[in-house]
Amino acid sequence: MTTRFNLKNQALLLSLAAFFAVSCGDDQPKDDSTETVEVEEKNANNTQLLELDGKVFSIPSPIQTAYLIKGAGVTYNKDILNVPSKVTGYSTNFKKAVNLGIYGADLGYVTLYDQTQDAISFLTAVKTLGDDLGVSSAFDMELVERFEKNIGNQDSVLSLVSEAYKSSDKYLKNNDQNHIGALVLAGGWVESLYFTTNSAEMTSNKEIINRVGEQKNTVYNLIKLLTPYYDQPEFSTLVDDLMELNDIFEKVEITYTFVEPTVDVAKKTTTVNSTTTVNISPEVLKQITEKIAEIRAELIS
Amino acid sequence: MKKAGFKLLVVAITIFSFNSVFAQSPCDTVATLCENNITKQYISDGQNYRALLLDDEIAEFNMVLYGGSTYRFAACSGFSDGNLIFSVYDRERNLIFTNKEHSNAPYWDFKITNTLDCIIEAQLDPNVSASGCAVLLVGFKQ
């Protein structure tokens, strides 16, 4: 009994020693709480960092636009979504990544409209593509189970989905897959703009039309995000298409006036009071609507 | 004997938990700690913004913030709060906010009335560190 216990202890101690060895190999600072991570790590992780002369470009979450569309009273329209069963037809990493973004935007949209059954179908499609792209840690069975458990609690479900996409983004950046991460964002943005232009066409709602115009800078950011990978298969077509879209967006007039922000120190909140007006003609709106539909049709084909 | 085994198990679990946070890449560790600042009422924008900085290098994050939303920015470096200075500018380079005026606050909320195209600059506080990983996380609520 004693001997067996000792053997177990020894095995455990060896495991602990191994764990410490791995931990020390990571060069982590130990107990100095103000110490920051040394820059010598840069070479090991430089793929995730300082893109384009130190500039990092962000793409807004598709969920925000879905909120706007629903808030404007636009009714649920399944026809504007990609079809989950098409997931098996996406064979290249390019198509898988871009449709991971598209299905993610669709998932956010159906969740906001409380379409439980559709949400499960889109989540399954997302999980399939996540597995194929090696980001199964972000879209795992635990996510599916938590998703199912929280159905009916919209905020929780949207948080879960966003966190999963953030984990995926982190994983891809850590594993020299920035181009895949950029495509996921691109897919989400294209789908989101597709929703917005469709909703604008259906409702002529001024706020939704403005949201289309407000994408002028994001399309530019997206091009900047994708341009480093221009020479990779399929990227050039997408970037060229986005540049054509950017040309149309150049006709959108955005007037910005700076107004001093107000600060509530106690609440750690700054209210940004600056104003932005968007002027987008019906003709330009139509051109954007047609171009984004064309780009999106190519991506989901 | 049983007590000794139990103690060993507790130590093992503690070390495992410790390692699960700290045995990640340096930026991951900072990001994991920084996530605590994005509380549950905020939905993540699904992205991780990171930059390794040396000396007075500045990382620039280009972002569009939609009108009608409130955003929370969490900006971190190292393993404690207040190591990173972040400033928000509009496209005309008018200063909207800098946490330097608020003891390098690790997070701040922004109520956006009209959509804002902004630039966030992040740099290490030279009084704290000469190099490190800067992480910016963004959450929003409607």
Q: Determine whether the interchain pair B46/A5 forms a contact, defined as Cβ–Cβ distance below 8 Å.
A: no
Chain A positions in Cβ-Cβ contact with residue B40 (cut-off 8 Å): 159
Q: Determine whether the interchain pair B25/A272 forms a contact, defined as Cβ–Cβ distance below 8 Å.
A: no
Provide the whole-model pTM.
Answer: 0.81
Question: Residue B32 gets which letter from DSSP?
Answer: H
Average pLDDT of span A35-50: 36
Query: How many Å separate Cα B116 from the centre of its chain?
Result: 21
Q: Report the candidate in B60, B75, B135, B140 with the shortest Cα–Cα distance to residue A57.
A: B60
pLDDT of residue A32: 35
A49 band by pLDDT with thresholds 50, 70 and 90: very low
Calculate how close chain B gets to A28, using CA atoms only, in Å: 7
What is chain B's mean pLDDT, rounded?
85
Calculate how close chain A gets to B96, using CA atoms only, in Å: 6
Chain A positions in Cβ-Cβ contact with residue B98 (cut-off 8 Å): none
* Facing B83 at nearest CB: one of A36, A42, A272: A36
ipTM of the complex: 0.84
Residues B5 and A8: beta-carbon distance below 8 Å: yes
Q: Determine whether the interchain pair B111/A270 forms a contact, defined as Cβ–Cβ distance below 8 Å.
A: yes
* Facing B8 at nearest CB: one of A12, A23, A268: A12
Residues A173 and B48: beta-carbon distance below 8 Å: yes
pLDDT of residue A206: 95
Residue B66 has pLDDT above 90, yes or no: yes
Q: Determine whether the interchain pair A173/B50 forms a contact, defined as Cβ–Cβ distance below 8 Å.
A: yes
Chain B positions in Cβ-Cβ contact with residue A23 (cut-off 8 Å): 19, 22-23
Q: What is the tens place of the pLDDT at every residue in A22-39?
A: 333 333 333 333 333 333
Q: What is the tens place of the pLDDT at every residue in B1-58?
A: 455 555 555 555 444 444 444 445 778 888 889 999 999 899 999 888 888 898 889 9
SS3 B73: strand
Nearest CA in chain B to A23: B23
Q: Please list the residues that pair with B118 across neighbouring strands.
A: B63, B90
pLDDT of residue A172: 87
Q: What is the tens place of the pLDDT at every residue in A136-186?
A: 888 888 888 888 889 888 888 899 899 899 888 888 888 888 899 999 999
pLDDT of residue A74: 93
Q: What is the tens place of the pLDDT at every residue in A208-257?
A: 999 999 999 999 999 999 999 999 889 999 999 999 999 999 999 999 99
